[in-house]
Amino acid sequence: MKSVSISGSLRENVGKRDAKEQRKVGMIPCVLYGGEKQYQFVVAKKEFQSLIYTPEVKYAVINIDGKEITAILQDSQFHPITDESLHVDFLEVVDGKPITIGLPVKVAGTSPGVLRGGKLVKKVRKLKVRGLLNDIPEVITADISGLDIDNSLKVNELHIDNVTFVENPNAVVVAVLSTRNVEAAPTEEA
């Protein structure tokens, strides 16, 4: 998984009034939890461009007053009208402790059902997985090479070494549906 470096400074005051003041000067209030200590800090808005506004999943190396901490983005809050970041939560990555994170699903291969006129439907964009940071890949690849018309690929058919899926095992990830212009399947003649 790729990483992003973020530098922040500890907040002296904590509360609504201080958070509003920080946002006015272009800073975003953040909290980092999950380790030995909880940190309340602020980060410049521009530093979040490559972490929040991207389809890729990345972890952050946060530098708070000279101390580097590895963390993942846990939650982010946005203004309902302007869509600006209001607050960001980070979860500290502790060595040897598994984390849960949502990974994007990428479709790979060519489906025989699609070649015959079926419609490929991607049911989910992300799947939650649990594992150690070093074992978690950047994307989950769903191979559709074996999917014919009216077939689907479920979560329990996907596999990643040392990583477990936190989703319903029978949930459909990708399906090939029948359409009006489907060619008849070749039949064997005796």
pLDDT tens readout for residues 2-55: 888 998 888 887 888 888 888 889 899 999 999 888 999 999 988 888 888 888
Looking at residues 183-190, what average pLDDT do you find? 55
Question: CB of 11 within 8 A of CB of 43?
Answer: no
pTM: 0.79
Structure-block tokens of residue 13: 């005051």
pLDDT confidence tier of residue 183, bands split at 50, 70 and 90: low
Single-letter amino acid, residue 178: S
- 134-174, pLDDT tens digit by residue? 999 999 999 999 899 899 999 999 999 999 999 999 999 99
Q: Which of 99, 14, 119 is CA-nearest to residue 57? A: 99
Q: What is the pLDDT of residue 110?
A: 92
The helix (run of H) or strand (run of E) holding residue 61 is strand 58-64
- Which of 168, 83, 178, 180 is closest to 127 using CA atoms? 168
d(CA 185, CA 83) in angstroms, rounded, equals 49
